[in-house]
Amino acid sequence: MVWLAIALSLALALILYWLLVTTEGAYLGPRVVAWLYDLSAGRYDAIKRFNPGDDDYFLALPLLQALRDVHTPLVLDVATGTGRLPLALLRRTDFRGQVIGLDLSRRMLNLARRKARHHGSRLHLIRQDAARLPFADGTFDAVTCLEALEFLANPAAALREMARVLRPGGVLLVTNRVNWEARLMPGKAFSGPALRALLESLGLTCVKINRWQVCYDLVWAQKPEEQDLP
């Protein structure tokens, strides 16, 4: 009986670790995910150790290239966290647009707000679940979601919402969890072919999937211009 109790306790501990640490509450609902990010907000940037140079080269620069024909682009960053993508754009002198950052974690948004205080009204932060984006169809020139898709309640539905608010001709940039870590998140991470098929089923074209980090791919797609739509 003692060994059985030990085995059950170990199994419970592993399950809790998987639910709260490995998958960051993704299977427990958006409020749990937000609560966990609230707890870690003060340490988040130190844990991630973002490199501004890499973010400029791999994120901001190609995004601006994709938006080169838009003079003042409007960008939505879903699950913006502490503002990684908005700050990568706002640091560039050739970005003349505005960014809306959306997240459910209040403390992460507070950090993003403090980090972006020198950029005035060019960054707007909203506390909102990504399941239902509070914007009209075709609002944004670009929609992004970095290192967060697998933590949303329904990643496929969230992608549908992102495609909805993207204007014709607009650009989608998301990340997809890959390698062995993806296998720990069934129903949350996609295989490359499955993600490509999903994006194409949402009417998006020019889907490109490139390796970005050890555990993430960068995924680009475009919403066709109105005259190209069937």
**CA-CA distance, 93 to 150, in Å (whole number)?**
32
Average pLDDT over residues 63-74: 95
In the predicted structure, residue 11 carries a pLDDT above the cut 80: no
Instruction: Identify the pLDDT of residue 61.
Output: 96
Domain span at residue 69?
A: 29-228
Q: 122-141: per-residue pLDDT in tens? A: 999 999 999 889 999 999 99
Instruction: Identify the pLDDT of residue 208.
Output: 96
Encode 73-92 in three state secondary structure. CEEEEECCCCCHHHHHHHCC
Which residue bears the tokens 């400029």?
56
Give 89-92's long-range contacts (Cβ < 8 A, gap of 24+): 89/60, 89/63, 89/64, 90/116, 90/119, 90/122, 90/123, 91/52, 91/56, 91/60, 92/56, 92/60, 92/61, 92/64
Residue 20 domain flag: no
Residue 45 domain flag: yes
Could you tell me how many residues make up the chain?
A: 230
Q: 141-164: per-residue pLDDT in tens? A: 999 999 999 999 999 999 999 999
Residue 173 domain flag: yes
Angle at 116 between CA 115 and CA 121, to 5 degrees: 155
Average pLDDT over residues 67-81: 96
**CA-CA distance, 185 to 148, in Å (whole number)?**
12
pTM score: 0.92
Residue 7 domain flag: no
Instruction: Identify the pLDDT of residue 205.
Output: 96
Instruction: Identify the pLDDT of residue 15.
Output: 76
In contact, 222 and 204? CB cutoff 8 Å: yes
- Highest mean pLDDT among 52-56, 174-178, 187-191, 211-215 belongs to 174-178
Average pLDDT over residues 87-105: 95
Residue 8 domain flag: no
Domain count of the chain?
1
Residue 21 domain flag: no
Instruction: Identify the pLDDT of residue 228.
Output: 53
**CA-CA distance, 29 to 8, in Å (whole number)?**
25
**CA-CA distance, 180 to 124, in Å (whole number)?**
36
Mean of the per-residue pLDDT values for the chain? 91
Count CA atoms closer than 13 A to 210's CA, side-chain side: 10
Instruction: Identify the pLDDT of residue 196.
Output: 96
Looking up residue 62, the CATH number of its domain turns out to be 3.40.50.150
